Amino acid sequence: MIRFEKVTKRYPGPGKPALDQVTLDIDKGEFVYLVGTSGSGKSTALRLVLRELRPTTGRVHVAGKEINRMAGWKVPRLRRQIGTVFQDFRLLPNKTVSENVAFAQQVIGKSRREIAKVVPETLELVGLKDKGDRMPDELSGGEQQRVAIARAFVNRPMILIADEPTGNLDPATSVGIMNLLGDINGTGTTVLMATHDHGIVDQFTKRVIELEHGRVVRDEASGSYGFQH
Amino acid sequence: MQLRYVFTELRTGLRRNLSMHLAVIVTLFVSLSLAGIGILLQQEAKIARSTLGDELKILVNLCTQDDPSNSPNCGSGEVTDEQKQRIEQEIEDNPEVRSFRYVSKLEGFDNARKSGQIPDSAISGPNPVVTVEQWPQGYWVTLKDPNEADGISSALVGLDGVSGIKDQRKALGQIFGIMKVLKYGSWIGSAFLIFAALLQVTNTIRLAALARRREIAIMRLVGASTLYIALPFLLEALVTAIVGVGLAAGALAAFQYWGVERGLAEHVQFLPWVDWGDYFQSLVGFLPGIPGIVILGPLLTLVPTLLLTRKYVKV
């Protein structure tokens, strides 16, 4: 589902590359943690998957397509197959919960009928069935992250990318979010989660890919967080 | 594509940046009005030149049967072919002359009629005061230098068959000079205001993109197309252009009606003036080369919008 072939990403200016000859392969339906210290290259890897960046050398394949040479006009179609969740939720404050989720469908041209059907289903999936009319600032952090997950999943993407999704949440709420991501993974969606949360990684054991200075230093099928900084 | 969202965003965008949009509209309105007046003046100069000649030209009138000039050159009545040959030879050999053109009685008569030299009352009715047959033949002589015509004038003035030389350089030079100043003045003013309009459009888009940065970021992430993201911006630009062009078209129509038809045309009758056909041409443009304000307005807002949205909403 996601394949990096000797991928190097170098930003302008002097210094070491953000990613250095990274090769990795993530299959359909896998749940993978991407761990490493700040500056290890996690975010760069996620942005390469989203085709927000192009590799300096090497090849990135996502959903069966080599995306580094993909024409710009094809990128939106690629992104419709990828859902993204962030640490800071990134909800639209002037829209209700339902409108926030519906927004992801409206802007790719889904019909009103389909939106009216899928949005309540997705809100039910994330446990916010009765909160569709609330505004984001009326929700707790955990609930806001659930809305963000609903928005990322409403188009039923093949891949869900989560960048520190529990970074702003307390441990108990984080467990709820991890359970939800586990449920989504259970539907066959590949989940790639960048995290610093070693408690979560150790508790919900999954494949762990560890980056250090832009290189893959560990890839364990069922790993723990592994290092304590 | 869900256009409902696009139109909602358009409405919100227009409302949110109302003062900026109004500033763009007013600037566009004034700059396009000035550009339109410049285009009309350009056309006016063209019309005046084609009818009256320009400051490089002098008109040599030839003798008629009963020549009113009482010139001694017209003693033999209507100019003869031999006399015309002699006159042409003289013109051709003169170093001050760039070129010359024969003007028939009919052409001369028509030009005089169009420029108001012959009042309509003089040519209408069963016994018109002036007829084509009475009108003199002539030559339009184009000079190399408008300031040097003494040689050709003195060479021709004594020739048999030459009734007189109409040297319009001074009068026309002044008129064309004024037109030139007004035309370039309005174009320069328009250019400055167009530049101001471009800056305002740029600022408006920057502000609009800033206000929508969260939405744009999410749209990019969930796979909205660039066109879909840019469409509200483009429509906002189009709306401001349409309003600006509409106001400028109204102002130009007012200028054409009160300024030209009811003003200049009534007071300066010896010149032919731009008409409503020319007004419509100033809207759509004189091709090739001069775009009208209907083209200029949307170009001024849509092109910077397209360029900037490519920068701000690039996927």
Query: For residue range B161-214, what is the model confidence (pLDDT) as tens digits?
Result: 888 888 766 667 777 788 888 888 888 988 898 888 888 888 888 888 888 888
Tell if the CB–CB gap between B2 and A79 is shorter than 8 Å. Answer: no
Query: Residue with structure tokens 């009103």?
Result: A112
The torsion angles phi and psi of A205, rounded to 5 degrees, stand at -70, 125
Mean pLDDT within B271-278:
85
Residue A214 domain flag: yes
Q: Where are the beta strands (DSSP E) in B53-96?
A: 57-62
Residue A119 domain flag: yes
Tell if the CB–CB gap between B222 and A107 is shorter than 8 Å. Answer: yes
CB B159 within 8 A of CB B86: yes
Nearest by CB to residue A79, choosing from B4, B221, B314, is B221
pLDDT higher than threshold 60 for residue B283: yes
CB B162 within 8 A of CB B63: yes
Residue A165 domain flag: yes
Q: Which amino acid is at B266?
A: E
> What is the number of structural domains in chain A?
2
Q: At A186, list the tokens.
A: 């259970």
Q: Where are the beta strands (DSSP E) in A18-132?
A: 19-26, 31-35, 57-62, 65-66, 82-86
Select from A105, A121, A156 the last residue of a domain.
A156
A50 and A1 in one domain? yes
pLDDT per position as a tens digit, B214-226:
888 899 899 988 8
Looking at residue B211, the DSSP 8-state letter turns out to be H
pLDDT higher than threshold 80 for residue B147: no
Candidates A128, A161, A144; CA nearest to A88 is A144
A24 and A75 in one domain? yes
- In angstroms, the separation between the Cα of residue B3 and the nearest Cα of chain A is 9
pLDDT classification of A175: cutoffs 50, 70, 90: very high
Candidates B44, B40, B33; CA nearest to B251 is B33
Select from A156, A187, A205 the last residue of a domain.
A156
pLDDT per position as a tens digit, A184-199:
999 999 999 999 888 8
pLDDT classification of A14: cutoffs 50, 70, 90: confident
Query: Which residues does A12 contact at the CB level (< 8 Å), separation at least 6?
Result: none
Residue B18 contacts A, CB cutoff 8 Å: no
Q: The whole model's pTM is what?
A: 0.69
Chain centre distance of CA A108: 19
Mean pLDDT within B269-281:
83
pLDDT per position as a tens digit, A105-156:
988 888 889 999 999 999 999 999 899 999 999 999 999 999 999 999 999 9
pLDDT classification of B287: cutoffs 50, 70, 90: low
Query: How many percent of chain B have pLDDT more than 70?
Result: 92
pLDDT higher than threshold 90 for residue B115: no
Residue A206 domain flag: yes
The torsion angles phi and psi of A68, rounded to 5 degrees, stand at -70, -25
Q: Where along chain B do the CATH 3.30.70.3040 domains lie?
A: 54-167
Select from A156, A189, A213 the last residue of a domain.
A156
Tell if the CB–CB gap between A104 and B228 is shorter than 8 Å. Answer: no
Nearest by CB to residue B315, choosing from A72, A81, A109, is A72
Query: Residue with structure tokens 């467990």?
Result: A175
Q: Is A229 exposed, middle or buried (0-12, 13-18, 19+ CB in 10 A)?
A: exposed
Residue A42 domain flag: yes
Give the H or E element holding residue B85: helix B81-93
Angle of helix B18-52 relative to helix B293-312, nearest 10 degrees, comes to 140
Candidates B61, B64, B84, B86; CA nearest to B75 is B64
Please report the number of interchain residue pairs, chain A to chain B, with beta-carbon separation below 8 angstroms. Answer: 62
Instruction: Indicate which CATH number applies to the domain containing A67.
Output: 3.40.50.300
For residue A192, how many other CB atoms are within 10 A of its CB?
23
Nearest by CB to residue B222, choosing from A73, A80, A112, is A80
Residue B1 contacts A, CB cutoff 8 Å: yes
Tell if the CB–CB gap between B221 and A72 is shorter than 8 Å. Answer: no
A140 and A106 in one domain? yes
pLDDT at A227: 55
Q: Which domain holds residue A131?
A: 91-156
pLDDT at B69: 79
pLDDT higher than threshold 70 for residue A57: yes
A166 and A151 in one domain? no
pLDDT per position as a tens digit, B33-71:
988 888 888 888 888 777 666 666 788 899 988 888 778
pLDDT at A229: 46
pLDDT higher than threshold 80 for residue B117: no
A72 and A14 in one domain? yes
Q: What torsion do the CA atoms of A66, A69, A74, A77 make, to the nearest 10 degrees? A: 30
CB A52 within 8 A of CB A43: no
Strand partners, B97: B143
Nearest CA in chain B to A159: B222
Q: What torsion do the CA atoms of A66, A67, A68, A69 make, to the nearest 10 degrees? A: 80
A169 and A149 in one domain? no
Nearest CA in chain B to A154: B222
A76 and A5 in one domain? yes
What is the C-alpha radius of gyration for chain A, rounded to an integer number of angstroms? 17
A162 and A65 in one domain? yes
A204 and A149 in one domain? no
- The interface predicted TM-score (ipTM) is 0.86
CA distance A15 to B133: 94
pLDDT higher than threshold 90 for residue B308: no
Any idea which architecture B54-167 has in CATH?
Answer: 2-Layer Sandwich (3.30)
Strand partners, B141: B58, B100
